[in-house]
Structure 1
Amino acid sequence: MVGMKRLFAPAAILTFLSASAFAAEPSVIGDWLVKDGYGHVRIDNCNGKMWGIVSWEKAPGFDNENPDPAKKGRALLGTPVLMGLSPTKEPGKWTGEIYNSQNGKLYGATISLANENTLDLEGCLFWPACLTQQWTRVKSPPANATPLPPLKSAPASQTKAPPAAKSAPKGAPQQAALSDTCQRVAAEQALAPPNGASTKK
């Protein structure tokens, strides 16, 4: 019996170390300083897709080129710019769209990690007209950062617990609350059409 314990002990240690390594695997989730240093984008996983909102700006920006009248001229702080990136067959790579507030258009975008603190963003007007830039991970906005604006509205289905949740059996897992980023994404999705933007001329 003692021999069996000695045999299984190393295996248990290896299993623990493997699980720890997996849990610590770097993720694109977090705050990122964009290439030119004029802002931060906060990325989060919202319902299985990666979204990114403007979480800090060096100078206030406005969505003056958005073709959607409901969004035209709004402040960019707190609004989504990385739009619904889905996982690809390649682990750690996500693809979707990025919103360019300078012209009010959406472009194809792919993100992945070059290393733990560097994100590769590839944006494409059309293939092969693609450019790659790198963003740098940051821990938090600057000390004097303007706080994100309060949420104006969110879908009722996102703010109220479903009836089933109220009568869930004792000990059943509770539905996780949406992060601030995902709440902003949900509010954005409630507006139609999403950004009213297109890559087509």
Structure 2
Amino acid sequence: MRLALYTGLILAGGFTGLTPALAADPTGDWRVADAVANIRVAQCNGSMWGAVSWEKQPGGRDEYNPDPSKKTRPTLGMATLIDMKKKPGVDQWEGQVYNAKDGQLYSATITPVGTDQLEIKGCVMGFLCGGETWTRVAPPIPLSTANAMAKGAPKPTGAAPKAQGTTGGGTTGASATAPAPAAAPKTATTAKPGQKNAADSIGDICLLPEIAGFAH
């Protein structure tokens, strides 16, 4: 029996174990084994999380989710590795993985192998365990204030003060002490919280509402 996860995880068959490198970092962007997606992994509020950061075929929807309200949500930006905690004394994190192929959650572990591979293993109901290896495509992600405080900071943090309209030369009371800065060029994108730029529509995954609002 083989259950192929959207993330590329295969929950069946054997997988030859590899010894993880010491002090390895699982954060960064990883290309799944069948190359259909990249998963961005970051430390958010003390746990490792992963979300889809790139799709080979854009426009995917979470159509198999048992929650009718989520069936039309985009798979881009969707959390796949969920609230993964570090195991004591070993470079391995365990938690859950979301399978968009059937809309179900499964227990899983992630283990860095050297600096450029991430071993993913999952189990169905505690057995039928298997996995595969993802390949690094972007460097590790440093822990930031947004990462550490993700649960309490789902709102965008870069809200620059709005330049009050200066038509007519009148100054409004509160802003009279400092001249309005020259209008900063706006990045004309429909950015989500945490977005970096137009080419990266995901940005800091810790600021995605699904992750930022997770109840620990």
After TM superposition, the score normalised by the length of structure 1 is: 0.62
Q: Distance in 2 between matches of 1:105 and 1:192?
A: 17
Deviation readout 1:60-94 (Å, 9 max, x if unpaired)? 22100011122112110011111110111232100
Map 1:30-179 onto structure 2 (within 5 A): 30-60=28-58, 61-139=60-138, 157-159=153-155
Which letter does structure 1 place at the counterpart of 2:206? C
Say if 1:189 and 1:180 are closer, same or farther in 2 by CA, change over 3 A: closer
Which letter does structure 1 place at the counterpart of 2:53? S
Q: Which has the higher contact order (CA 8 A, sep 6+)?
A: 2
Say if 1:155 and 1:105 are closer, same or farther in 2 by CA, change over 3 A: same
Residue 160 of structure 1, CA deviation: 8.1
Q: Distance in 2 between matches of 1:66 and 1:98?
A: 14
Residue 54 of structure 1, CA deviation: 0.2
CA contact (8 A) 1:97 1:109 kept: yes
Partner of 1:167: none
Partner of 1:188: 210
CA contact (8 A) 1:122 1:133 kept: yes
Q: Distance in 1 between matches of 2:213 and 2:65?
A: 13
Q: Partner of 1:188: helix, strand, or coil?
A: helix
Which letter does structure 2 place at the counterpart of 1:63? D
Partner of 1:26: 24
Q: Partner of 2:210: helix, strand, or coil?
A: helix
Q: Distance in 2 between matches of 1:86 and 1:55?
A: 21
Q: Distance in 2 between matches of 1:158 and 1:192?
A: 10
Which letter does structure 2 place at the counterpart of 1:181? I
CA contact (8 A) 2:117 2:136 kept: yes
Identical residues among aligned pairs (%): 38
Q: Distance in 2 between matches of 1:139 and 1:155?
A: 25
Residue 190 of structure 1, CA deviation: 7.1
After TM superposition, the score normalised by the length of structure 2 is: 0.58
* Higher share in helix: 1
Structure 2: gaps (5+ residues): 1-21, 140-149, 158-193, 195-202
Partner of 1:18: none
Residue 26 of structure 1, CA deviation: 3.1
Runs of 4+ in 1 over 2 A off after TM superposition: 154-161, 189-193
Residue 126 of structure 1, CA deviation: 2.3
CA contact (8 A) 1:43 1:51 kept: yes
Deviation readout 1:123-164 (Å, 9 max, x if unpaired)? 110223101210000028xxxxxxxxxxxxx98754388xxx
Q: Distance in 2 between matches of 1:80 and 1:112?
A: 18
Q: Distance in 2 between matches of 1:160 and 1:181?
A: 12
Structure 1: gaps (5+ residues): 1-23, 141-153, 162-177, 194-201
Q: Distance in 1 between matches of 2:107 and 2:101?
A: 16
Q: CA RMSD in A?
A: 2.9
